[in-house]
Structure 1
Amino acid sequence: MPVFVYVLSLAVFAQGTSEFMLAGLVPGIAHDMSVSVAAAASLTSAYAVGMIVGAPVMAALSARWPRRRALAGFLAAFVVVHVVGAVTASFPVLFGTRVVAAIVNAGFLAVAMSVATGLVVPERRPRATAILLSGVTLSCVIGVPAGALLGDWSGWRSVFWAVAALCLPALALVFRSAPSSSAPRPHDVSIRREARELRARPVRLALLLAALVNGATFATFAYLAVIATDVADLPGVAVPGLLAAFGVGAFIGVTIAGRVGDGRAGNGRVGNVRPGLRPGLIRTLYVLPVGWAVLAATSARPVPLFIAAVIQGGLSFGIGSAVVHHVMFVASRAPSLSGAFATVALNAGAFLGPLLAGAATGATHDHRLAAWVSVALSASAAALTCALLRRQHVGA
């Protein structure tokens, strides 16, 4: 595997830490900025919306840029907005920095996906995708708990400074080692043609599948801390451990997905769920809603809750990584925009999943319903997969 793929993963780790770190910083920001907790929590929604809007826009704008310039530019902008966020005394400015950070994060991730998969032969692309996304899972395991501890110790601003500092080694390595061969030739890039390719039915279904899987993941993940304290009656100090357990499972799942997907890329026909996925992973997708149901049913018991968190973290992120590769495969004729739209699908799920969970739990005040929302979304993903495979069989 090219070393530069790991460089990209380091940058994704820093950006993933920034995306999720607000979960532990909201009280401090609300107090320091003299705003309500709800207003401080809106910074998380601002980031999600910025990711959704930013991915296609930034990918289209940067499609003709040399890949080194695009990656370095996005990462440098990410550093700058975190420095501004760390020193500002204005909440509207802080809100703006979160939107801009999300936009450049989305642009970086979209370009990084196309670069990472373009550096390897087709059989190795699932693993390249998994290594890139492992930066996100490691941010859940290491970055977010470390950020929460640092925020408690020296204030939320120090976490913004830490994220900016964490990006600097990756930025230096991008300038030094980004392969020039990964730059597209301007006349080879047609945004209109790629946009038409993305409207194809197989691509739209693959994007829907990615959104459903990630929606199921974050419907429960967003409420995991509340489930721990209000349902399982765990003390607050146990919450970082539960989140880390979910993250450990996620990292294992992404790693396994990358390894079992190696050598399978490109097998099968575009237009079904099989390309880039082994049959075992497809069957695992059918198991996903069962796992969420088990977590919902056993969430009042601490030990089963921790075990289910590890298992569901592994299943969710492992399947998610494989589905992202599937999107990249069925949208292979749109190399500049496919990563962007995969990013949009993932973040649409990450935005809508907690929104649906919030509506369900707000109406009943039963936080276990967040996991049942995950059951419904993942069951929809399994049903979509089944329908696609049946369509493939009929068309064979």
Structure 2
Amino acid sequence: MRVLAIVLTLIFGLMLTPAMATGREVVIGCSLPFTGGLSSEAPYFKDAYELGVDMINKSGGLMGKKVRLIIEDDQTNPATAISIYEKLVAKNKAIALFGPLGSSVTAAAASVAERHKIPIISSYAASESLYTKGYKYHFGIAASRYFGGSYSVPFIDMIDNFEKWAPKGAKKPTKIAIIGVSGAYGRDAVDRCVKRAKEVGLDVVYREMYDAKTGDFTPMLQKIKRKGAEILCAVSYYNDSVILARGIAKMKIKFKIVFLGTGPGLPEWKELGPIGYNYCTAYPLSPAWKKGGYPEFVKAFKAKYGKDPLYSNAWAYGVAQVLKAAVDKAQSLDPRKIRDAIASLDMDIAWCHVKFAPAGWNAGYGGTYISQNQKGKTVGVWPQEVAEGPVIYPFR
């Protein structure tokens, strides 16, 4: 009976112990939305996660072990993500996890990581709600002090500094409409944009949330036009950005300047032709940033995929850089020791500096740069130290 008790104790002890690497390889896993509302975003992250793992393996792996990356489709569904991440931990014995896309899906994945005490590093989700739950195992490299506003509030700061970039003699616009896609991320970003706009003296004449599946923004744009908005700030994903741009062109709304969260900096935006010109957008990946292996990242990406990387690629690649640095620092494949090493990092990656706050957001990142689509070309315009050309103003 005593032997049986010892055996049972060992078995249950192993069941409660975080995944430990065995054999010649270790597993890292994640889910991405290859179907569902964020499906257009997934390929960018898949490419860069895979390139990041290539980088790790070419540099000796993790503690000498080759990394095997497992990616499954979460369908932009939190429940599906939970199932995938549970399997990654329980069946595949992943020692660390990469984050999915979208704040609600990331929250689901983070809950699994927290329960099993496996570190998860997000490349995308920035909603503050993810960093107020007391999680110790979730880290977000793209979440600045602005949280969900990390990719949009800097545009408000740009407007506040109008005199520094506007054509000589131009009158500063003051009436702004702020809209955003429904969900934790969108609500957080819109709230922060509204708060910042009021702080800098702008008149918020319209604010509204919309469903990600909205196919026609005409009613909303009509309201915005009637309110006399001179500035439009949209916390948007790619598909809704396209629909908004087409609606603005069709209605011939003459805004002074427009910001769309995602779209104007992507290659496929060129399909819109001239109606897609002059839109501002988030510009997290600036050629002015030369630290953290940025030149090597660009070279490797072009060699593997035959094209230049975008900011989404850099975000995801940075996750692999963080994991590699943490394992090297911990000198261990124990997930808990990896977690502690991640929490203590102070380093440059291919697109920003990383130093995590106790809650898991990136205190080393100050928020995105701003670019403008100028005749199909992405041009950095703010802040001034990374500006590659003047702002085309007014928008129309």
Provide the TM-score with structure 1 as the length reference. 0.24
Name the structure where helix makes up a greater proportion of residues.
1
Provide the TM-score with structure 2 as the length reference. 0.24
Name the structure where strand makes up a greater proportion of residues.
2
Structure 1 or 2, whichever has the larger Rg, is: 2
